[in-house]
Structure 1
Amino acid sequence: MNLEAFILGTGGMMPLPNRFLTSVLLRREGELFLFDGGEGTQVSLRKLNLRWKKISAIFISHTHADHVTGLPGILMLSSQVDRDDPLTIIGPPKIAEYIESSRRVLDMYINYDIVVKEITEPGIVYEGEHFHIRAFPLRHTKPCVGYVFEEDPRPGAFHPEKAEALKVPRGPLWSKLQNGEPVVSSDGAMVYPEQVMGEKRKGRKFSYVTDTLAFPEIASEVANSDLFVCEGMFERDLLESAKEKKHMTAEQAAQIAVQAGGIKKLALIHYSPRYTEHNLKQLLKEAQAIFPDTVLSRDRAVFPIEYED
């Protein structure tokens, strides 16, 4: 089952000609999940030829303009195609008011159901088949949350030689064992899945953190992420400015990745508009000095998220 992260925008504060505002789309087979919707999100969706009608849920970190100004366009865009399933929008307090006021003032034509859920406490906010998405609090100038997408553990590897040794004939009984069901062998003995299966294998994990001070609890939330998308808004020399604005530096994002443990890749995002494409290399250099497996997110970059085995 494929899992991919599409970077739709990487900028903070204001859009630039080649840098839309922050937004990331996660695709798990045919199901799509959007994290934030800054200005330009709709354009990147079209450029990547992604099927926006398949967006099941939108997860908003907070209601600052550079993270939500693309939402009205997404809602109206979805009305241009037949959509039977409701669209779920999840975010901290004020997101419901923002959606409702946008619909009213813009007199939107919406031909599908929109379900808005405001986060009042951390924990699981969305569940699907063999995965969940949970929110955890961040520290910004207004209520803000980070998100973690995590798959359930997968069954261990099936060992056919063990099944044969226990006299379980090849065929449907093997499938039942792999699906977690006990079976009866050809000599009448009960055979349980744990007798022929290896240890459970880790599912995939994606974490999204932006617009926050750096603080230790983030590390425990994002630990063991296959892809950790995290803001790296400023360089080290602007640490005090980052603290004042309740943002973090690229170096701090890398420190969180190290503290977390098990992070396979850190992708920086939400760059200050002060940095040109050339200047972004300084952010990358500072982060890689601490966490070598760091990359710069780019608008419309794609990150496949693979099973570790």
Structure 2
Amino acid sequence: MQVTFLGTGGAVPTTRRNTSALMVRREGERLLFDCGEGTQRQMMRFGTGFSVSHVFLSHLHGDHVLGLPGLCQTLDFNDREEALAIHTPPGTKSAVENLVGVTGARPGYPIRVHEVQPGGIALREEEYEVRAFETDHRTRSVGYALVEDDRKGRFDRERAEELGVPAGPLFSELHEGNAVELDDGTVVDPEQVVGPPRPGRKIVYTGDTRPTGATVEAADDADLLVHEASFGEDRSERAGKTGHSTARQAADLATRADAKRLALTHVSSRYAGESDRLAAEAREVFDDAFLPDDGDGIEIPYPDG
């Protein structure tokens, strides 16, 4: 699973930081979180490809959605046929539909807009789900947690052979959780040769928000927490008034959630040229905090390697 930071800036883009967008590639599938102005160009620039299956919008402020009409149009020009699913906060479906059709021309492929509920499941797939959680901004807003299912425990081949299980189909049966009977009538249970389930991976994306307890809960033991950090501590009062967080507040939340890594995004343009100070403020609280640049990509390994 790979995360690419397509846009790490705040409401006003700079020459170094575009508006909000995050691409997650998992087992060949591409999930896009927010779609600020210019996102499609960032996708070309950083080689993520356009085969997005789902778009998750945290809220409808322009710096998070104004790239959507252009992206949808480009997908149409590329002769897309498969449906595109757009997930959006409660009460915003009609606004998203109007945004997609702002030019008066509807794409030739289906676009399905789904409203999500905080605390609910936005998307359920065979091996993972995307959960929506409540955030605290100046408008209807949600964050998202991509949570993989637990994986099978490790199969102990040596132990299985000690118990007389021949290599082959019976190994698979045991790994699938089924007991098997040997030729001599001995029954081998999966618990004898299969270890405990192993956790999958978790990525949490907040969008714009003040620090919240719901985020702490959603980000519990996350492999990566992507939290907005619009301001430094010098502007903590403004952060609170405008529904944003400081880098230090994001770091404190990551500590409370016991997250493994913290990526700081949505950096205000007022910190152009001095964004490193935000990362430094965060690392005073949380060692594994970093401030990615546009185009940076990181791999998310399984917890046990």
Q: TM-score range by the shorter chain?
A: over 0.9
Correspondence list, 1:36-115, <5 A: 36-52=34-50, 54-115=51-112
Displacement of 1:191: 2.0
Between the two proteins, what is the percent identity of the paired residues? 40
Could you tell me how far apart the structure 1 residues matched to 2:105 and 2:295 are?
A: 28
1:197 aligned onto 2:200: no
> Among 169, 172, 175, which residue is 2:172 paired with?
175
Correspondence for 2:16: 18
Deviation per residue, 1:35-72 (Å, 9 max, x gap):
000112111100122221x2111000001111000111
What TM-score comes out, normalization by structure 2 length? 0.96
> Among 279, 284, 287, which residue is 1:284 paired with?
279
Could you tell me how far apart the structure 2 residues matched to 1:304 and 1:229 are?
A: 14
Correspondence for 2:289: 294
1:303 aligned onto 2:298: yes
> Among 160, 183, 186, which residue is 1:186 paired with?
183
What TM-score comes out, normalization by structure 1 length? 0.95
Deviation per residue, 1:108-153 (Å, 9 max, x gap):
3412111100124421110112100000111111111010001001
Q: Secondary structure at the match of 1:105?
A: coil
Correspondence for 2:264: 268
> Among 150, 154, 162, which residue is 1:153 paired with?
150
> Among 235, 245, 249, which residue is 1:248 paired with?
245
Correspondence list, 1:106-145, <5 A: 106-145=103-142
Could you tell me how far apart the structure 1 residues matched to 2:148 and 2:19 are?
A: 28
Which range moves more in the overlay, 127-136 or 182-191? 182-191
Correspondence for 1:230: 227
Could you tell me how far apart the structure 2 residues matched to 1:131 and 1:120 are?
A: 18
Could you tell me how far apart the structure 1 residues matched to 2:248 and 2:118 are?
A: 29
Letter in 2 for 1:42: Q
Displacement of 1:80: 2.1
Letter in 2 for 1:196: V
RMSD: 1.4
Q: Secondary structure at the match of 1:139?
A: coil
Letter in 2 for 1:292: D
Alignment length, in residue pairs? 304
Query: What are structure 1's unaligned runs of at least 5 residues?
Result: none
Q: Secondary structure at the match of 1:17?
A: coil
> Do the aligned partners of 2:180 and 2:187 also contact (CA within 8 Å) in 1?
yes
Displacement of 1:276: 1.3
Q: Secondary structure at the match of 1:167?
A: coil
Could you tell me how far apart the structure 2 residues matched to 1:229 and 1:83 are?
A: 30
Displacement of 1:284: 0.6
Letter in 1 for 2:296: A
Displacement of 1:94: 4.8
Query: What are structure 2's unaligned runs of at least 5 residues?
Result: none
